[in-house]
Amino acid sequence: MNNRNHIRYEETDEGLLLFLKAHAKAKRNGITGILDGRLKISITQAPEKGKANIAILKLLAKELGLKRAQLQIIAGETSSLKTLRIEKMTFEELSPRLRVLIE
């Protein structure tokens, strides 16, 4: 699934992988849509010393109703293109939560 309307994901033994496009130093925090199969995340935090990544994880945990411990950025720590792993979650379980936030 890799177009404007679908979120690209992979289900692995370690958890669900979502691909993110992060926008740091934004005017407000939020999930702002989908771009090229990536979930777009805006955060007000500047990308300094991992602070933006922490803000992304906190925002996603809150917005998706997940525990912070379930979320980990596994690729792209210093890039705006990130890979997020969500433990103990399938895309089928997560999809309705995302749909409510994006629509």
- For residue 24, the domain's CATH number is 3.30.1200.10
- Looking at the structure of the chain, the number of domains it has is 1
Domain membership of residue 57 (yes or no) is yes
Residue 83: predicted pLDDT: 98
Q: What is the pTM of this model?
A: 0.90
**What pLDDT, on the 0 to 100 scale, is given for residue 6?**
87
3-class secondary structure for the chain?
CCCCCCCCEEEECCEEEEEEEEECCCCCCEEEEEECCEEEEECCCCCCCCHHHHHHHHHHHHHHCCCHHHEEEEECCCCCEEEEEECCCCHHHHHHHHHHHHC
4 in a structural domain: no
Domain carrying residue 91: 9-97
Q: What is the mean pLDDT of residues 82-95?
A: 95
